[in-house]
Amino acid sequence: MDAIVLLRGAYLSAAGLVLFVFAVPALRSRFLDYGPRSSRTEKKEDAGEEKKGVSASAVGTLLDKLAELKVPHSWFTSFYAVSVTLSLFWAAELLVRGPSFQAVARYAPDTAHSMSFSQVLVVWTLMLAQGSRRLYECMAISKPSESRMWFGHWALGILFYTLTSVAVWIEGISSIRAHTPSTRDFLIQGPSARTFIGVLIFLLASGFQHDCHAYLASLKNSKKTDGGAATSDYKLPEHPAFNISLTPHYFAECLIYLSLAIAATPKGGVLNWTFVSALVFVMTNLGVTAYGTGQWYERRFGSDAVKGKARMIPFIF
Ligand SMILES: NC(=O)c1ccc[n+]([C@@H]2O[C@H](COP(=O)([O-])OP(=O)(O)OC[C@H]3O[C@@H](n4cnc5c(N)ncnc54)[C@H](OP(=O)(O)O)[C@@H]3O)[C@@H](O)[C@H]2O)c1
């Protein structure tokens, strides 16, 4: 068993699972939509239509029960807490070649086409920066919310960030094995063209995504209900980025994982295929959510609100 093949397989299987749930209306309406898209007030009619045929059956009842297992949308914060924690954990493991590193490395054969140690350091730093920024945004910028997501969605997110904390270094195992840590590791050397392009795309996409998140937060008039719970009224975004794509923050996320696939390319390779597999999952997962976002904006604000706008990737989808 090869740990790299296993990791890539896990991302692609997860993407396949998301597509399967999306393709089956009875599953899609129950398990996929989250956040604003699952606003209870508007969803009922459509969901009722889509659930027809299975609702009355025992299977339908079981699915309904499963669909009730929801957690707050604000639990997204836990994804980034896990991501940052695992980044730090693996840094320690890699430096001392600890037992967890050894356990994974046992299943990754040595190769001449490895990421260099400094590449691992760069990509690890980028992933730590991504997790830290998102954690900050969730804790300091996002407005209180009462929207929810299915428990399975949350579990898949935790799995994604757990796998990605390993993807950062798994294609550099040969260099890590051969490396003797020293202070010279922290000397800044001229980056390769690939690292330069990867880091540049990462920084631009991160800044762009941060602006989108700050804008979305500014749209919400959070207020407390009599019971003290936060409620929110959603608005149609008018920021120029949202006039090209309904979900520019998702597009930025795709660019971020593309940039990691570029920066983490092993020696002699075209791209880092483990990160390309992660990118396939991200595009699939966010693509189906962006599809639901388009439907939700149209339902809520009318067809003019979505006219001429891509769902996620400008001019393409
Ligand atoms: N790597 C991955 O696989 C993955 C998967 C999912 C998400 N993400 C990333 O995580 C980030 C957040 O994703 P998300 O799916 O949570 O985004 P989202 O559903 O668009 O929600 C983001 C925030 O904006 C609010 N919001 C959304 N539309 C609004 C509107 N029209 N008016 C006012 N507020 C609005 C939401 O409020 P509520 O809290 O009330 O819903 C939430 O606080 C994105 O950048 C995405 O790329 C990554």
Res 55: pLDDT: 55
Cβ–ligand 1 distance for 259 under 6 Å, the answer: no
Residue 292 has pLDDT above 90, yes or no: yes
Average pLDDT over residues 199-211: 98
Res 93: pLDDT: 95
CB neighbour class for 227 (10 Å; exposed up to 12, middle 13-18, buried from 19): exposed
Residue 139 has pLDDT above 90, yes or no: yes
Residue 227 has pLDDT above 90, yes or no: no
* CA atoms of 125 and 119, how far apart (whole Å): 10
Res 223: pLDDT: 53
Res 120: pLDDT: 95
Tokens of 52: 């027809």
Cβ–ligand 1 distance for 38 under 6 Å, the answer: no
- Greater confidence, 84 or 32? 84
Average pLDDT over residues 182-196: 80
Average pLDDT over residues 150-176: 96
| Percentage, residues of the chain above pLDDT 90 | 71
Atom of ligand 1 nearest to the CA of 257: 1
Average pLDDT over residues 39-64: 61
Cβ–ligand 1 distance for 220 under 6 Å, the answer: yes
Atom of ligand 1 nearest to the CA of 160: 3
Contact 177, 116 (CB under 8 A): no
CB neighbour class for 192 (10 Å; exposed up to 12, middle 13-18, buried from 19): middle
Average pLDDT over residues 269-279: 96
Phi then psi for 196, rounded to 5 degrees?
-60, -50
Residue 266's nearest CA partner among 276, 255, 257 is 276
Tokens of 69: 């297992």
- Greater confidence, 156 or 231? 156
Res 229: pLDDT: 45
Res 39: pLDDT: 55
Res 228: pLDDT: 43
Amino acid at 241: A
Residue 274's nearest CA partner among 2, 4, 3 is 4
Residue 134 has pLDDT above 90, yes or no: yes
Contact 158, 82 (CB under 8 A): yes
Cβ–ligand 1 distance for 253 under 6 Å, the answer: yes
Atom of ligand 1 nearest to the CA of 247: 20
What does each C-alpha distance from 156 to 18, 89, 135, 150, 265 come to in angstroms? Answer: 10, 20, 18, 10, 26
Residue 127 binned pLDDT confidence (cut-offs 50, 70, 90): very high
Average pLDDT over residues 15-27: 94
Res 230: pLDDT: 46
Report the chain's mean pLDDT, rounded to a whole number.
Answer: 89
Q: For 108-112, 259-263, 296-300, which range has the lowest pLDDT when averaged over its residues?
A: 108-112
CA of residue 143 to ligand 1 center, whole Å: 11
Cβ–ligand 1 distance for 209 under 6 Å, the answer: yes
Atom of ligand 1 nearest to the CA of 236: 31
Residue 204 has pLDDT above 70, yes or no: yes
User: Could you report the per-residue pLDDT of 58-72, keeping only the tens digit for each?
Assistant: 888 889 899 999 999
* CA atoms of 82 and 80, how far apart (whole Å): 5
Res 171: pLDDT: 95
